[in-house]
Amino acid sequence: MINEYANTNGSVPSGGWIADGEFIEMVLTTNATVSELANLTFGDSNSSTSAIHSIFQFDTATLDAVLTASGQTSFLAGTIFVVKSATLGAQNLTYDPTLANIGNADAWCIELIPGLGVVDSPASPTGAIDVENTGEIIWVADGTPTSSTDTSGWLSAIGHDNNPGALATAVIDQFGANSFYTGAAGAPKALVNTADGIMALSLENDSTMGVPNTDLNAEWLVSVRGGALASVPEPNRMLLVGMGMAAWILQRRRVATEEAA
Ligand SMILES: [Ca+2]
Ligand SMILES: [Ca+2]
Ligand SMILES: [Ca+2]
Ligand SMILES: [Ca+2]
């Protein structure tokens, strides 16, 4: 789900895919493999919140590399994906989601830059994420929208507008009034989920890229992560248990052979 997005007065650089200084923050609410994440699309709207403006996808090679390095077989619920402007620093591809660091933001967060770790969808009308002062929708969908007004695949969307358009109405209809801020945002500002999986959207002066938005948001993330860890055996631990068993069986066989001799 979309957990936060930032608005600045920066513009999209020539050849770039997101306005300078802006980012969107997504939280994974179920465990997901690379191929499951490859089915997702996400992006922004136009300033009148009447049409989809950009469509992006994850770069699967990047996700494969992150997952392989982490030793995990899927991305765990509670993981934060940030899609950000290059002016906010290099991509952050470290990922180490364990019980020991359940509250460590960096261990559970991956930061990607459009054009690198996320790529423009072939279906994208224009390509760039550009958060507008007066109106914006940031959305994530299962599959690719079939038109610039197709919201049927939306899994989550939040937004703001002082004169809500059709997509704003769709956000409220599909996800509730708490997912939409009726008003202009101004800049620099951030639209943040101040709560848990039940969205409570708020316009804030300060953004929190890659880290929980509030204490309640942090408590929720830790709880989701705990549930994810309980459902998935740690591969390293399973491997060690397996190797230990093999060594014990080998030793027993040797003892048995020596006793027989
Ligand atoms: Ca990280
Ligand atoms: Ca926009
Ligand atoms: Ca902006
Ligand atoms: Ca945040």
For residue 45, how many other CB atoms are within 10 A of its CB? 29
Q: What is each CA distance from 229 to 74, 98, 118, in whole angstroms? A: 11, 7, 26
Amino acid symbol at 199: M
Task: Express each pLDDT in 52-109 by its tens digit.
Answer: 999 999 999 999 999 999 999 999 999 999 999 999 999 999 999 999 999 999 999 9
Query: Backbone dihedral region of 60: left (phi > 0), alpha (psi from -120 to 50 degrees) or beta?
Result: alpha
Q: What is the pLDDT of residue 126?
A: 77
Amino acid symbol at 183: G
Q: What is the pLDDT of residue 40?
A: 98
Q: What is the pLDDT of residue 242?
A: 54
Q: What is the pLDDT of residue 258?
A: 56
Residue 149 alpha carbon to ligand 3 centre in Å? 22
Confidence band for 182, pLDDT divided at 50, 70 and 90: very high
Residue for token pair 């958060």: 131
Cα 204 versus chain centre, distance: 20
Residue 209 alpha carbon to ligand 4 centre in Å? 5
Among the bound ligands, the one closest to the CA of 112: 1
Residue 79 alpha carbon to ligand 4 centre in Å? 12
Task: Express each pLDDT in 192-238 by its tens digit.
Answer: 999 999 999 999 999 999 999 999 999 999 999 999 999 876 555 55
What is the arithmetic mean of pLDDT over 161-171? Answer: 98
Residue 227 alpha carbon to ligand 2 centre in Å? 34
Q: What is the pLDDT of residue 231?
A: 84
Among the bound ligands, the one closest to the CA of 43: 2
For 242, residues 6+ apart whose C-beta sits below 8 A from its C-beta are none
Segments making up each domain of the chain, as ranges: 2-231
Task: Express each pLDDT in 18-51 by its tens digit.
Answer: 999 999 999 999 999 999 999 999 999 999 999 9
Helical spans, DSSP H, in 176-234:
215-231
Residue 23 alpha carbon to ligand 4 centre in Å? 10
Strand order of the β-sheet with 154-161 is 118-120, 56-58, 40-43, 135-142, 154-161, 180-182
Q: What is the pLDDT of residue 168?
A: 98
Residue 234 alpha carbon to ligand 4 centre in Å? 27
Among the bound ligands, the one closest to the CA of 12: 3
Measure the CA–CA gap between 123 and 146, rounded to whole angstroms: 8
Sign of the CA dihedral running 18, 95, 63, 158? negative
